[in-house]
Amino acid sequence: MGETAVRGCSVYSSNQQPGGGYTSGLRQPIYGQRPIFTGQIPGQQTPVYGGNYQQGSQPQTVFTYGGYGRGLPFDTASYSSECPDTGIRIQINGIPCEQAVDLHGTFLCYRHEYTSRECCQKCRPLKNPSRIGCEYGDHSGRCTDLRSYDCYDLRNRQSCCATCERLRQTGARAGCEYGDMTPNCDRVRQNPELCYIPENRYLCCDTCHSIRDLNDECPWGDQNSELCAPFDRLGNIRINCYSPPIRRLCCQSCPRIQEWLPGELQGCEYGDRPVTFSAGTHRSLNCTSFMRYFGAQQCVLNEAVATNCCYTCHRYSQA
């Protein structure tokens, strides 16, 4: 049990703070000259993950203890609707708490709402209790540098809750809420066939979706644009669209060849097959060269020529 006042001398009970004495008669607190205790507490580090971000630190806080009041922090449950005097004054980076919140951001309220009356009075009107875990917005002052794909990291979504909510795309598909997961999707946009690779579709989910064609059998065009180039430098057809695997691989180029040719050529929907004929001293000849050397009668005399050079034979028959 604490000591009591004796013969008019001021003594302190065990739960009484220094600086306040009691008279033996009135037993009222007397506030006199008191020592001021200052201490510098390092800023709380709030890392932002992803990209080239380094760990940042919160503004440094100096606590000044003075007056008569409770310790740090006070009971938040008991003071849910009021801002009592805690006996503590705070300076953050050398300025009062109210100004620091305006200058640095409301994230300071997560730490200092219950530290001093001034901080409490500043922070309470800014609080949104319905946003659990994000009552004061971002937990870091460095979230302005965050890019949308950084929000796929759970730690960033927690530290930068308000920013990530703002960057979240309205009506986005599950797994692609913040757009592409990497900044390197420009190459995919320029080469849509890269979206056929599952890993690319996952990382560039927004890009692949935006450039996807309505044709489900050929959503991103030819699967290999170099292999599926339809014509050689001389204008001859160079891909064999009569082959089902080639039609699947070159799902865009084969229909274009078909559209380019006359529609009445049954069995010759994709023009001449990309074949060459070995002709002795003439070496390898394509359909056009073969007709030039051996004549159009080969379309009647030679079944292989008629089949493989169907479009060239058609042109000669129309001449």
pLDDT score at 292: 87
Residue-wise pLDDT tens digits, 258-302: 888 877 788 899 999 998 888 767 678 888 888 888 888 999 999
The single-letter code of the amino acid at 201 is R
Higher pLDDT, residue 130 or 64: 130
pLDDT at 247 over 80: yes
pLDDT at 242 over 50: yes
| Highest mean pLDDT (candidates 1-10, 216-225, 297-306, 307-316) | 216-225
pLDDT score at 270: 93
Tokens 């309505």 label which residue? Answer: 214
Average pLDDT, the chain: 77
Its pTM surpasses 0.75:
no
**Percent of the chain residues past pLDDT 90, beyond the cut:** 51
Higher pLDDT, residue 206 or 46: 206
pLDDT at 255 over 50: yes
Domain boundaries, the chain: 97-167, 169-213, 272-318
